[in-house]
Chain A
Amino acid sequence: MQKIAPITKLALTIFVTIWSIVLQSLPALTALIVCQLILLVIAKVGSSIYKGIASLFVFAAILAGMQYAINNDIMLAAITASKMIAMTLVFFILLATTRMQDLSAALVLQCHIPYEYAFMLTAALRFIPDFLAESKAIQEAQACRGYSPQGNVLQRFFSYMAVIKPLVLKAVTKSETMALSLELRGFGSRKTRSFKNNVTLALQDYAMLLSMILFTSYLVIQIY
């Protein structure tokens, strides 16, 4: 899986999303999920990914339960949950098997997206964990000053300001510093930029792309 070019995996992500929307039968969706899980096993992803997937399943089950409670239709609930799992799993595959830098290289070289935008996309993903850690640190700091949100929705909202204000401020200063540091590291002179890793397509990429297109066409013909 890691040897497949990032652009192919990006295409896979798009196609799987389309399939998950188009497919309406539970066995077909289950097959799609099983195929994706097999791909993950082949790719030998780390245990943290499996933990993420486990929580995805739990979340989907809760979703299905809620839908069942509302509609009383077990089949519809199962299909909705499977669709959600099928769609989300493919992002796990993409993110677990593709290096951010290669993804942005592919976006720039093959999709002709300006490098700055591609970079911002990948950097945003990189900073999510930092942002969560910061939010936790702020909550701890405020807890030591007696912060503990309680009461009705409005009261809670006001007490959350103790966390939200410093967090927003931090996000703003952090993005400013990041923009500055990128300039200081010579980022932005696109003409001269190189990419360390090869992201061009190989035979297996063309084979995969072709079969994905064929399968999508077949599905579309079947339905309409």
Chain B
Amino acid sequence: MPAIALQNFSYAYNHPKKVLDNITISIEKGSFSVILGPSGAGKTTLCLAVAGAVPHYFGGSSAGKVYVAGIHTQESSMQQLALTVGTVLQDYETQLVTMTVEEEVAFSLENMGIVPEEITQRVEEVLAKVGLTGYEKQAVTDLSGGQKQRLVLASVLATNPKILVLDEPTSALDPEGTYSLYKLLSDLNQEHGITILVVEHDIATVLPYADQFILLENGQLILNGTPESVLSFMAKKQIFAEAIPPLWQLKLMIEELATRQFASWHTEEEAIIQLGKALDEEARKNA
């Protein structure tokens, strides 16, 4: 059973235009999936469909089905789904509703009816996980953007969700903040088997961790597959090709000009090793 499955899912807000149009995707348990596409493509709507807010909160009209951990979302409730799916919204600052860091995490647990003794312990654990130990009593408004974001993540993780959905989580972070957020998500993914679904504009930052890319445009699913297949497709068909990260622009360019193939590149280090080897061989042949 996949963690998330959309079957011919279509959706329109209270407006006739289809924002998602006949989408069929399957995301396996333990996957690190990334939704790509220009703004207005329907990425946020797709995230909200997984969390059940579409259609439970927004109404509108839909067709097809969304299954999350085997639950048919339309026949469940948002509260029920919240036990399985943790969601970090694009406007994450508004997700913080209490005065202090500790209360924020406790709030999620109180909503679930966890007993007080267990709340204290879980708050401590989850703050340690996101690196906010020592900030328990701090006022939420005094945190920096990156810290607020980790706090939202903590309050979502506190309920032990099997699936994490994050909508453009790095738009307010600097390169180091972005790196450490994705490192943290990757650890949660690798060590705790949490399925991750994230929207990201800068493909280079997720390339080392992702195993599935989902490309949307105008509410349609253009392609869904391994990062390699989606990036090659984007280049070949010139669909949203601006988003291809520099590393892959280089790879595809050399492959075309020098008619040869490289294995997949996830990091610059991998590229340097493979290019070094190829250049070395070439130099030896010429010698």
Q: Is A194 an interface residue (CB 8 A)?
A: yes
User: Do residues A196 and B91 form an inter-chain contact, with CB atoms below 8 A?
Assistant: no
A187 near B: Cβ within 8 Å?
Answer: yes
Q: Which residues of chain A from 172 to 192 have a CB within 8 Å of any chain B CB?
A: 174, 177-178, 180-189, 191-192
Given contact pairs A188-B79, A195-B110, a sample of 10 additional A-B residue pairs in the complex whose CB atoms are under 8 Å apart: A100-B103, A101-B99, A101-B103, A126-B99, A177-B89, A180-B53, A181-B89, A184-B78, A193-B113, A198-B116
**B98:A126 contact, CB within 8 angstroms:** yes
Task: Write the nearest CB–CB distance from A104 to chain B, whole angstroms.
Answer: 10
> How many angstroms between the C-alpha atoms of A200 and B56 in the bound complex?
37
Name A101's closest neighbour in chain B (CB-CB).
Answer: B103
- Contacts A193-B111, A196-B106 hold; do A186 and B83 have CB atoms under 8 A apart? yes
Contact yes or no, A101 B106, CB < 8 A:
yes
B115 within 8 A of A: yes
Contacts of B116 in A (CB 8 A): 194-198
Asked if residues A101 and B98 are in contact (CB atoms below 8 Å), the reply is yes
Complex A-B: 11 CB contacts under 8 Å:
A123-B97, A174-B94, A180-B89, A181-B97, A183-B56, A184-B89, A186-B108, A192-B112, A193-B111, A194-B119, A196-B110
Query: Nearest residue in B to A181 (C-beta to C-beta)?
Result: B95
CB distance from B204 to the nearest CB of A (A): 29
Closest chain A CB from B169 CB (angstroms): 14
Residue A136 CB within 8 A of the other chain: no
Tell me the chain B residues, 91-105 only, with Cβ under 8 Å from chain A. 91, 93-95, 97-100, 103
Q: Which of B50-75 contact A (CB under 8 A)?
A: 51, 53, 56-57
Q: How far is the CB of A179 from chain B (nearest CB, A)?
A: 8
Instruction: List chain B residues, Cβ under 8 A from A191.
Output: 113
Q: At the interface, yes or no: A146 with Cβ under 8 Å from chain B?
A: no
List, in ascending order, chain A residues with CB within 8 A of B108's CB.
185-186
Per the bound structure, the CA–CA distance linking A186 and B115 in Å amounts to: 16
The answer to whether A99 touches B103 (Cβ under 8 A) is yes
B171 CB, min distance to chain A CBs, angstroms: 15
Tell me the minimal C-beta distance from B161 to chain A in angstroms.
Answer: 10
**B247 located at the interface, meaning its Cβ lies under 8 Å from any Cβ of chain A in the complex:** no
Please give, as numbers and ranges, the residues of chain B lying within 8 Å of A130 by CB-CB distance: 93, 141
Considering the chains assembled together, what is the distance between the CA atoms of A196 and B78 in angstroms?
Answer: 23
Q: B229 at interface (Cβ–Cβ under 8 A)?
A: no
Asked if A151 lies at the interface with its beta carbon under 8 angstroms from chain B, I say no
How far does the alpha carbon of A180 sit from the alpha carbon of B92 in the complex, in Å?
11
Contacts of A198 in B (CB 8 A): 116
Interface residues in B112-126 by Cβ distance below 8 A to A read 112-116, 119-120
Known: A126-B99, A194-B119. A184 touches B110 (CB 8 A): no
Q: A101 vs B107: C-alpha distance in the bound complex, in angstroms?
A: 9
* B155 interface residue per 8 A CB criterion: yes
Contact A185 B89 (CB under 8 A): no
Q: How far is the CA of A108 from the CA of B116 in the complex (A)?
A: 16
Does the CB pair B159–A186 fall under 8 Å?
yes
- Assuming the contacts A174-B94, A180-B89, asked whether A193 and B103 have C-beta atoms less than 8 A apart, the reply is no
Q: Tell yes or no: B224 within 8 A of A by CB.
A: no
Query: Are the C-beta atoms of A182 and B110 separated by less than 8 Å?
Result: no
The 5 A-B pairs of least Cβ separation, nearest first, read A192-B113, A186-B82, A186-B111, A181-B95, A177-B94
A222 CA to B67 CA in the complex, in Å?
71
Closest residue on chain B to residue A187 by CB atoms: B111
Chain A residue nearest to B117 (CB atoms) is A196
- Bound state CA distance, A29 and B115, in angstroms? 45
Is B189 an interface position by the 8 A CB rule? Answer: no
Contact with B along A122-153 (1 / 0, CB 8 A): 01001001100000000000000000000000
Which residues does chain B contribute within 8 Å of A182, judged by CB atoms?
97
In the bound complex, residues from chain B placing their C-beta under 8 Å from that of A192 are: 111-113
- For A180, the chain B residues whose CB sits under 8 A away are 53, 57, 89
Chain A residues near B120 (CB, 8 Å)?
A: 196
Q: Is the CB of B79 within 8 A of A129?
A: no
Q: Which residues of B contact A188 (CB under 8 A)?
A: 79, 111
Assembled-state Cα–Cα distance A188/B114 (Å) = 15
Is B87 in the interface zone, CB < 8 Å from A? yes
B-side contacts of A129, CB under 8 Å: 141
Residues of A within 8 A of B114 (CB): 194
Identity of the chain A residue whose Cβ is nearest the Cβ of B119 in the assembled complex: A196
